[in-house]
Structure 1
C-alpha cells in the first residue's frame, strides 16, 4: 500500500513506527539503487504510454486542474525514469570510450531492457470509469474529471478489480509478446 500512497491523493502508510509514501516521488534517479547495489543488468517495467502513431488534435481549451494534475503525475513517474535511462546510456558510452583507450575506471557498463505497455493506460481507465463508485465519480466530476477527460488522473486512482485485472492481463500479454527479447536479455535458455 505504501507504494501506492501518492502524496495529495492517498495518505502515507504506517509500517511499525514510520510512515511511507510512493518511493518514485522522491526517487529522482530510479536506476541509482540497483546500480549502486552492483547490478550488471536492469529489466525495467515502465508505465509510459505507447508512442502515438498520429498527432493528437490541438486542445481547444485551457487545460483544467485535473489535466495539469495528471500531467504532473505522469512527469513524476515517467520523466525521471527516462532521464535516468538517458544518463545511464551516456555513462555506458563514456565507459566504452575509456575502455577503447585503455583508461582504467571504476565505472562499468550496465545493460537495460525497458518494457512499456502496448496500450494507453488513460484509454483503459476511461473505458472503466463507470467502475468507480457513484460517490467517487461525483467527487471527480466536481474537480472536472469525467469519463472522457484529458486527465490521466483516473488511471492513478482507479483500483477497481475490472481495471486492475485488465492491466495485469495487458502486462502478461506484453511480456509474452516480448518473451524472446526478455529471455535474450536475461540470458535464459528457453525450454
Structure 2
C-alpha cells in the first residue's frame, strides 16, 4: 500500500502538523518501516514535508528533529520585525501602487523573510532526498507553488524515474531536483513574503488557486492518503452558528477570510469531493468497471484536523508578537477583539503559540490512536 502524507499550508499554523506527526511516531510500532513513501506539502506544510524527506534517519528520528526545529523557532528566525523593517515594507508596497517599476528589481512584500532562508538552508540537507529515493525509503516528494505569470499551480516533485510529469487544467507536475528556492516559493504568502523566481517565472504560495490539493499525491502513485489539515471546520458535523455582526468587518477580518479561502477551503472541498467519488466507485460493480474501461478506484483516507479553532488560540497569543507586528495588526483590526485573529495566526511564530498548537495536534491524533492503527494495518 503506497501511503501519502499530505501537509497543507497555513503559516505558523503548520506547527499543528508537527504535533500530529509526534503522535504518529508514538502510536506506530518501533519496527514500522518508513510509513509514507510519498510526501506532499504546500505552503508552510512544504517546510515540514521536505524536512521529513531530507532527514537521513527513520521516521521517529525525522519527526523528532522537525519538532526540535519548531520548538526553538522564534519570530526573528522567520522574518525581520524591527520597526524600520515593517515601515520599509509598508512604504514600498504603498509606493508600488503608483509606480510599477518599484517591484521589478526585487519582489515586494510586507516582511523580509531572509532569516527563514538562512534557517532552512542550514537545517534541511536537500541532497539526502535523492539518496532516500535511491534506497527505496521514498518514492516521491513534492511541493506546490503558484506561478504569478501563468496562474498555474505547479507541483515540483522529486521521485523515482518511473514517475512522469502531468498537465491538467491550471495545474502541472514538474520533475526536478528540489532545492531551497522551491520551498520558499511554496511558502511565500502573497504581499506578506516575497515571490521567488524559479527558472522563467516568479512563484508564490502554493495554496493560491490550488484547485485540487490532493491531486499531486494521486499522480505520484498514492493508494491511500493521510491528511493533516489546519482548520477546525471538520471537527464538528454541525454547521457553525451564524452570529449577528456587531460592527462592519475590519481589514484583519477580511484578510483572514481571504487567507482561509486559500489555505483551508480548497483542501476541505477536495476531500469532500474525493469522499463522494469513493462512495460512487463502491456502487459500481467490478465487472462494469472492466468492460467500460473505467479506471476508477476508491482511495482510502484519514484526516486529522484541529479540534479547537486556531483563531481563538491565536487571539490568546497575539500579545507574544513583537511590538512592531502588534501595532500593524491592531491597525488593520487583526486582533481577538477586532475579530481578525485569523490573519494574525498565519504570522504568529511565537514559542507560546507554536507549543500550544503542537500539543493540540498531538492530543488530537492520540484520540484517534485506534483509527490510526487500523489505517496503517
**Aligned counterpart, 2:210:** 27
Determine which structure has the larger strand proportion and give its number.
2
Q: 1:21 to 1:126 in 2, by over 3 A?
A: same
- What's the C-alpha RMSD, in Å, of the aligned pairs? 2.4
Q: Is the 8 A contact 1:35 1:110 kept in 2?
A: no
The number of residues matched between the two structures is 187
Aligned equivalent of 2:267, options 74, 78, 81: 81
User: What's the secondary structure of 1:102's corresponding residue?
Assistant: helix
Map 1:30-41 to 2 at 5 A: 30-41=213-224
> Is 2:328 aligned against 1:142?
no
Alignment correspondent of 2:281: 95
* Distance in 1 separating the partners of 2:331 and 2:275: 44
Find the residue that maps to 1:128 and give its secondary structure.
Answer: helix
| Structure 2: stretches of 5+ with no match in the other structure | 1-115, 117-183
Q: Tell me, in whole angstroms, the C-alpha distance in 2 between the residues paired with 1:78 and 1:54.
A: 16
**Equivalent position of 2:39 in the other structure:** none
5+ residue gaps in structure 1? none
**Of the candidates 172, 191, 195, which is equivalent to residue 8 of structure 1?**
191
CA contact (8 A) 2:278 2:298 kept: yes
| Residues 58-78 of structure 1: per-residue CA shift (max 9 Å, x gap) | 112221221011011111122
Contact 1:31/1:81, CA 8 A, preserved across alignment? yes
Alpha-carbon deviation of 1:155? 0.8
Q: Which moved more, 1:127-136 or 1:14-23?
A: 14-23
TM-score, length-scaled by structure 1: 0.86
Q: Alpha-carbon deviation of 1:94?
A: 2.9
Q: What TM-score results when the alignment is normalised by the length of structure 2?
A: 0.46
Hey, what does 2:349 align to over in structure 1?
159
What is the Cα deviation at residue 136 of structure 1? Answer: 0.9
CA contact (8 A) 1:130 1:147 kept: no
Matches of 1:117 and 1:93, distance apart in 2: 25
User: What SS is found at the alignment partner of 2:207?
Assistant: helix
Following superposition, the deviation at residue 13 of structure 1 comes to: 4.6
Q: Distance in 1 between matches of 2:224 and 2:289?
A: 23
Distance, in Å, in 2 between the alignment partners of 1:19 and 1:174 is 37
Task: Kindly state the Cα deviation for residue 56 of structure 1 after the two structures are TM-superposed.
Answer: 5.3
Within 2, Cα distance between the matches of 1:90 and 1:10? Answer: 36
